[in-house]
Amino acid sequence: MKTFFLGTEVLSYKGSKSKNRTRTKSIFFLLSSIFLTQFSFAQEQDSTKVNKLDDVLVSAVRVTTKTPVSFSNMTKKDIKYRNLGQDIPILMNYLPSVVTTSDAGGGIGYTGIRVRGSDATRVNVTINGIPYNDAESQGTFWVNMPDFASSVESLQLQRGVGTSTNGAGAFGASLNMLTDNYATKATGEISSSYGSFNSNKNTVKFSTGLLNDHFELAGRLSTIKSDGYIDRASSDLKSYFLQGTYVGKTTLIKALVFGGTEKTYQSWNGIDAETLNSNRTYNSAGKYKDEAGNVHFYDNETDNYNQNHYQLHWSESISDKWSTNLALHYTKGLGYYENYKYNEPIEGYGPIQPTKQVENDLGELVPGTDLIRQKWLDNDFYGTTFSAKYVAEKLDVIIGGGWNKYEGDHYGKVIWARNSGQSELGNHYYDDFSTKTDGNIFAKANYQFTEKLSFYGDLQYRNVKYKANSAETGLVDDHFNFFNPKAGFNYEFNQNNTLYFSYARANREPNRTDYEGGNVKPEKLNDFELGWRFNSDKFQLTSNVYYMAYKDQLILTGRLDDVGNPIRANSEKSYRLGLEVDATIKLSEKFMLRPNFTLSSNKNVDLAVDGQVYGTTDIAYSPSVIAGNIVVYSPIESLHISLLQKYVGEQYMNNIELPSAKLADYFVNDLNVSYEIKPKSIFKSIMITGLVNNILDKKYVSNGAMWDIYPYYYPQAGINFLAGLTLKF
């Protein structure tokens, strides 16, 4: 069972006919031919223009302080101090309105993120402007890209609807990442880390620098392993990143190939309240009994997935005012998860013969057996994104869009049964097929009315078509046409103070699992944001009031289906009202504070479930208080000491406010120390890094789920550490 928090690959492992699928392998040849034809545009190098061209990769989906949107940026420098193997969501934990969790309890393996109470399926994620969210589940599986943080130049988290982007609509936030810029000189890097639970990371990076002032080849290889805090919640992760860059006076071409392979022992079941008190690390996954009644745990109760990404970007500076970007992309995913099913009813598994009578979900005795099954996903995702940017004295305009298609084969295999009957090895006990196309166009503009007042406008049209034919979803042939307008004003009182206001409309289609419940509706959101930014040499402050009014919001019920997918239901009327405050305070040359907090009210209005009216209730997984703080002390330039603090208030795991469904609040402290040595020979830099997580050894739970009225919890690790060494040359 996978946790609802992250969404799961499980739901994508169900649904398609492999023999009827349409494959698009010719995309490789298309990418290659376009890459070769772009060299005719190359001219002499101009580093200033090239840096601007690199920004074009994400400028279509990013915002600046001129845009009336609430956002936070993280740079490579921000990331490097804690980049010791934990996933990107964990590295983002201290941003405003963010809550993170880890299935294995230590930040390695399956991790997830919520922003303003919205789960990962509602956070739009792009890499260089290319959609990353799984097309069907709409979730983001960071475990498929281990150590990707080592290849990120910068990232931006926009809260709320944000600006128009590619892929699934943002209902809680959008996260866009820019991969490594090119290096002008040859570089190399070796980094290793080791810590609690036998966690270790090894990374090798290189860059040729610009050859003949025009070409660069750069790459990375990484391995990450961990036993996990939870019993048997191990991770064996491998990844790579390869980038070829051509630089001209007005041209930037990047070809990227990156991906990863993950094998994780499942830790999706959680534990009940009694076990939480007696054995926090217990993991029931893989549990079975032999014929003599002895308890065992199946040693291959694992999730196995491989994902490879191919991107080609061509950025062109046509003039001082015009620049363009065209991208092609292709992602190949293939993998499965494996379960030992003890006392499993054989109905639906094909010609397997029963060995005993077992109880089904209704408590009836039916034919059953023990068996081992695999649920497979074989998918292809490909398409294009494009944008053109015009910059004048008072007007900035971006016109862009994209078109993407997903093709997914979902099938199941029984690889062992006590009595296999007439079944053959390799037979499928289900075969489903699904396709999804997603196209959008948008136009954005910033216009400077006066020296102090500017206007922002953003119009997007999005068309979505989804087809599926699984036993759970039934036959689905649905399509949507969404119009998403956004507008706002930015007013600069003086060089220190800016006030902004914006309105954004968003529409979003259901995901694959939502169709299992039947009669599902698309959801709508009206997002109002009012903010104030103060900026001085020693003090920066951003405060933001938001009101997000939903129609038919698909809210997490806290329940999971039989394979661990989160069950959602439409709430006819709901809202999120909150205040976000984020500051940077430079107390001296050595001390700095970076506090933030969010106070919010997240409510379902006149909620009715199964005919029973509950009135106004809290939305599940939406704490009313989230706070973070980073205290930075640098007694000398080479020594960096940080105390990182996070508080998350109590929250419910369902929407009817059952007392048993309440997660307790928690306050966690981490300590991060790094020391950099710059030798005069051999190495350019030697960095020693240490991270002690949860230094006060807080016993806390960041996530949970409800089985009917019974809560199940996902506990996080107590005090634990990671230490690393990075050599640059």
Q: Is 5 part of any domain?
A: no
Q: What is the pLDDT of residue 412?
A: 95
Mean of pLDDT values over 38-56: 43
pLDDT tens digit string along 564-620?
A: 667 778 888 999 999 999 999 999 999 999 999 999 999 999 988 777 888 999 999
| Position 54 pLDDT exceeds 70 | no
Look at strands 215-226 and 199-207 and give their pairing.
Answer: antiparallel
Q: Is 19 part of any domain?
A: yes
298-307, 357-366, 388-397, 639-648: which range is least confident on average? 357-366
259-263, 290-294, 453-457, 518-522: which range is least confident on average? 518-522
Mean of pLDDT values over 326-332: 97
Q: In this structure, are residues 569 and 608 in contact, taking their beta carbons and an 8 Å threshold?
A: no
Bin 34: left if φ > 0, else alpha if -120 < ψ < 50, else beta: alpha
| Position 177 pLDDT exceeds 70 | yes
- How many whole angstroms separate alpha carbon 556 and alpha carbon 501? 30
| Position 48 pLDDT exceeds 70 | no
The alpha carbon of residue 125 and the mean position of all alpha carbons in its chain are separated, in whole angstroms, by 6
Q: What is the pLDDT of residue 69?
A: 93
Closest CA to 111 of 147, 141, 84: 141
Q: Is 3 part of any domain?
A: no
Mean of pLDDT values over 96-121: 94
For 397-427, b/e burial (b = at least 16 CB within 10 A) is bbbbbbbbbbbbbbbbbbeebeebeebeeeb
Backbone torsions φ then ψ of 326, nearest 5 degrees: -130, 135
21-35, 107-121, 219-233: which range is least confident on average? 21-35
Element (H or E) spanning 379, and its range?
A: strand 365-391
Mean of pLDDT values over 558-568: 67
Instruction: Tell me the pTM.
Output: 0.90
Q: Is 660 part of any domain?
A: yes
Tokens matching residue 313? 């970007």
Closest CA to 87 of 33, 141, 18: 141
Q: Is 98 part of any domain?
A: yes
pLDDT tens digit string along 570-585?
A: 888 999 999 999 999 9
State the CB neighbour count (10 A cutoff) for residue 47. Answer: 12
Mean of pLDDT values over 319-331: 94
Closest CA to 413 of 521, 361, 335: 335
Mean of pLDDT values over 449-453: 94
Q: In this structure, are residues 647 and 625 in contact, taking their beta carbons and an 8 Å threshold?
A: yes
Read off the pLDDT band of 7 (50, 70, 90).
very low
| Position 124 pLDDT exceeds 90 | yes
**Which residues does residue 433 pair with via DSSP β-bridges, in sequence order?**
409
Q: In this structure, are residues 324 and 387 in contact, taking their beta carbons and an 8 Å threshold?
A: yes
Q: Is 291 part of any domain?
A: yes
- How many whole angstroms separate alpha carbon 698 and alpha carbon 668? 7
| Position 27 pLDDT exceeds 90 | no
- Which residues of 471-618 form beta strands (DSSP E)? 474-492, 497-508, 523-535, 539-560, 566-586, 591-593, 596-609, 612-618
Q: Given the structure tokens 């005012």, which residue do they identify?
A: 321
Number of domains in the chain: 1
Q: What is the pLDDT of residue 369?
A: 94
Domain holding 426, by residue range, is 10-728
| Position 88 pLDDT exceeds 80 | yes
Q: What is the pLDDT of residue 350?
A: 87
Cα atoms found within 13 Å of the Cα of residue 443, Cβ hemisphere only: 2
3-state DSSP assignment of residue 595: coil
Mean of pLDDT values over 7-30: 38
- How many whole angstroms separate alpha carbon 400 and alpha carbon 326? 10
8-12, 51-55, 145-149, 564-568: which range is least confident on average? 8-12
Q: What is the pLDDT of residue 33?
A: 38
Contacts for 682-685 with beta carbons within 8 Å, 24 or more apart?
A: 682/729, 683/727, 683/728, 683/729, 684/187, 684/728, 684/729, 685/726, 685/727, 685/728
Q: Is 2 part of any domain?
A: no
Per the prediction, the chain carries an average pLDDT of 89
Q: What is the pLDDT of residue 166?
A: 85
Task: Tell which wins on pLDDT, 83 or 24.
Answer: 83
53-57, 269-273, 611-615: which range is least confident on average? 53-57
CATH number, domain at 310? 2.40.170.20
State the CB neighbour count (10 A cutoff) for residue 388. Answer: 18
| Position 23 pLDDT exceeds 50 | no
Q: Is 401 part of any domain?
A: yes
The rounded percent of the chain whose pLDDT value lies above 90 is 77
Residue type, 41: F
Q: In this structure, are residues 292 and 127 in contact, taking their beta carbons and an 8 Å threshold?
A: no
The rounded percent of the chain whose pLDDT value lies above 70 is 91
Contacts of 691 (CB under 8 A, 6+ apart): 82, 84, 195, 670, 671, 672, 673, 721, 722, 723
165-169, 174-178, 649-653: which range is least confident on average? 165-169
Q: In this structure, are residues 86 and 507 in contact, taking their beta carbons and an 8 Å threshold?
A: no
352-356, 440-444, 722-726: which range is least confident on average? 352-356
Tokens matching residue 460? 């997007």
Q: What is the pLDDT of residue 561?
A: 66
| Position 6 pLDDT exceeds 60 | no
Q: What is the pLDDT of residue 472?
A: 74
Q: What is the pLDDT of residue 56?
A: 62
State the CB neighbour count (10 A cutoff) for residue 185. Answer: 9
What's the maximum distance between 2 C-alpha atoms anywhere in the chain? Answer: 83
| Position 557 pLDDT exceeds 50 | yes
- How many whole angstroms separate alpha carbon 378 and alpha carbon 335? 7
